[in-house]
Amino acid sequence: MPEESSFPTLKRLLVGKPIPSHLAHHERLSRVTGLAVLSSDALSSVAYATDFIVATLIVAGTAALGYAIPIGLVIAALLAVVAFSYRQTIYAYPTGGGAYRVAKENIGENAGLTAAASLLVDYTLTVSVSISAGVLAITSAFPSLDVYRVQLCLVFLTLLTLGNLRGIRESGQIFAIPTYFFVVSIFVLIAIGLYHYATGTLTSVAAPVPDSAGTRQLTTLLLLTAFANGCTAMTGVEAVSDGVPAFRPPESKNAAATLVTMAVLAIAMFLGITFLAHAYQVMPTEKESGVSQLGRVMFGTGPVYYLVQAATTLILVLAANTAYADFPRLASIVSRDRFLPRQFMNQGDRLAFSNGILVLSAFAALLMVVFKGDTHALLPLYMIGVFVSFTLSQTGMVIHWRKKRTPGWKTSALVNGFGAVVTGVVLVIVAITKTLEGAWIVLLLIPIIIALCKATRRHYDHVASQLTLRNYTPQRRVHNTVLMPVGGLQRAVVEALRYAETLSDDVRAVYVDVDQSATDQMKKDWETWGGKAKLVILESPFRSVMEPLLEYIEQVENERTDDYVTVILPEFVPARWWQHLLHNQRALLIKGALLFRPNTVVTSVPFHLAK
């Protein structure tokens, strides 16, 4: 018997036992685990969104920091509008798909593919940026680890991949505790900060003012740039609407409740941190974040401070989990429409879209290696994709309301229209301010992905047109010529000959003469073992085996162009995998050469060797 592979055992150890399809409903997300799986990106964004606002405004001097609060309020209002829009999307499109489905059905195919391509790019960047940011927090605390930044990124990426391959419910259980730990930590931080503010016991951070402070004038463009940078607080809002089918029944109701909870938490944490950053005069730097400065001034450098930092590090790494929940599901929805390879539709042993998870990990790993795990190098690529999808989704919802004209449709259309205009403005600002920093890569990638999607769809349509049974009349084939290349007579060849005789009365063993003495022995042995098959000997003056063999097969094909030619390949299978390396792979070469020939069937007849 062949040696049993250890791969299934290793797979079971890493991924877990297979889950039968009839238990799929048990693997759905509850509201509690759904919030952890699908909201970690949106919730983690509050850890750095305020820093981006402050860092942008400070170049106009400390007096400009007063605009941080009104900018934060506008972003919070916009986040609420976008969340409301996606809540409407959840009920209107309960099968998931989010921005892709809304844009495709209401605006057009190109808009839908643009939204899908934008989100697929953004999810990949979410994984890279989130893990890189988490590793940066670690290397900031332990500078000696900085030389291993890429390796640490890849370790976290591997852990997230394995966690998600284990299935939706199990990944939710794994990642729920860190998500809620972060939420509680931030609210404790905000509560204590507000207490000190209310009681007049507030102490400023007293962080050094950056050298860039006061180097530029406060202009409308600078305010808009600060606003656009702060809109990183909105990344991940669309995740729940993409993953509606992952929830337990009633799916739409549970998904909508999870989205509202996520929006309330994100808005409360973002506004709380923004207010405290202004009150405590936070000055975030490349070496210390605003949350770290707030924690240090409130808790000192004791255990509570390190708990807050640990919670922030964990949520930044686990923010990538939102992408792992939505990238494979969105890819499966797009592939169902035949714009991506059908393999993305397949669910693995644990009822997770394993192919999408592995592809996401591969591209994220590539980004980490190329950009050396540098968060600052990756950030300019971030956000464009998500705001493209925001704008298209809300525009699509306006058209949706105008088509349906359900009660209250004008109000809903007005809210979505307002959101579309504002997110469109933010998109333009983000594109302008970040293109020169490297975001042009994303702007180039999106149309390339769209072109690949359309090429995939054309291929599937072309295949379907040729495979359809409509107006098809089966062609009657009355003859099957069986050819079997042989290099000599031994047990595997004789067994294959007996099998070939069951397929046709016209069986020909094809032997290429490269050695006269071997050919003479072959003719002699054939009289004993050849059976009903005819022996065909081909001349090969230049000792080539493949060329005369393929020429003869082509000659037989031309004799009977409307009938089948079956090529039988006897193959013995060694007991151990490494023993394959000791034998030639002529059968594999023949298979490759005959792969694209019409009406030619290639069949392998295995002969298993004992240990």
d(CA 539, CA 519): 10
Q: Determine the pLDDT at residue 174.
A: 65
Q: Give the tens place of pLDDT for each residue, 84-130.
A: 888 888 888 887 667 898 999 999 999 999 999 998 998 898 888 88
Q: Which residue, among 390, 381, 378, has the nearest Cα to 425 in the 3D structure?
A: 390
- For the chain, the domains span 25-459, 480-608
398/413 Cα distance (integer angstroms): 5
Sign of CA dihedral 196, 198, 203, 208: positive
What pLDDT does 361 receive? 92
**Neighbour count for residue 212 (Cβ, 10 Å):** 11
Residue 447's pLDDT is 94
CB atoms within 10 A of CB 244: 26
Question: Cα torsion for 447, 449, 454, 456, to the nearest 10°?
Answer: 160
pLDDT at position 287: 66
Q: Tell me the residue ranges of DSSP E strands in 189-345.
A: none
In the numeric block, the tokens 């791969």 are attached to 7
- The whole-angstrom separation of Cα 458 and Cα 406 is 36
Could you write out the DSSP letters of every residue in 311-322?
HHHHHHHHTHHH
**Residue (of 366, 347, 367) closest to 357 by Cα position:** 347
CB atoms < 10 A from the CB of 153, how many? 27
- The 10 Å Cβ neighbour count of residue 320 is 32
Cite the beta strand spans of 129-197 per DSSP E.
none
Spatial contact of 611 and 575, defined as CB atoms under 8 Å apart: yes
Question: Strand, coil or helix: what is 601?
Answer: strand
Torsional class of 398: left (φ above 0), alpha (ψ -120 to 50), beta (otherwise): alpha
Q: Which tokens belong to 142?
A: 């332990």
Among candidates 564, 580, 563, 561, which has minimal Cα distance to 572? 580
3-state helix, strand, coil in the chain (%, to 5): 70, 5, 25
Pairing type for strands 600-608 and 507-513 reads unpaired
Q: Nearest Cα to 479, choosing from 507, 455, 509?
A: 507
What whole-number distance in Å separates Cα of residue 118 and Cα of residue 125? 11
Gap between the Cα atoms of 228 and 225, Å rounded: 5
Helix (H) or strand (E) holding 535: strand 534-539
Report CA-CA distances (Å) from 161 to 127, 156, 356, 488, 604.
Answer: 11, 9, 11, 49, 37
Structure token pair of residue 429:
């600002």
**CB-based contacts of 540, cutoff 8 Å, min separation 6:** 512, 513, 514, 547, 548
> How far are the Cα atoms of 44, 263, 319, 450 from residue 83, in angstroms, in the given order?
16, 6, 18, 27
Homologous superfamily assigned to 480-608: HUPs (3.40.50.620)
Structure token pair of residue 212:
């860039």
Q: What angle in degrees, to the nearest 10, is found between the helix axes of 31-44 and 168-199?
A: 60
Q: How many CB atoms lie within 10 A of CB 457?
A: 17
Q: Count CB neighbours of 225 within 10 A.
A: 21
Task: Record the tokens describing residue 67, joined without a space.
Answer: 């605009």
Provide the pLDDT for residue 349.
54
CA nearest neighbour of 383 among 41, 39, 34, 35? 41
Element (H, E) at 565: strand 564-573
| Alpha-carbon distances of 450 from 330, 476, 483, rounded to whole Å | 15, 42, 45
Residue 352: the pLDDT is 62
For 498, other C-beta atoms within 10 Å of its C-beta total 13
Residue ranges, the chain, pLDDT below 70:
1-27, 96-97, 140-141, 167-175, 211, 286-287, 347-352, 375-376, 379-380, 436-437, 477, 580-581, 583-584
Query: In the chain, how long is the greatest CA-to-CA distance?
Result: 108
What is the architecture, at CATH level 2, of domain 25-459?
Up-down Bundle (1.20)
The answer to whether 252 and 259 have CB atoms below 8 angstroms apart is no
Query: What is the reported pTM?
Result: 0.75
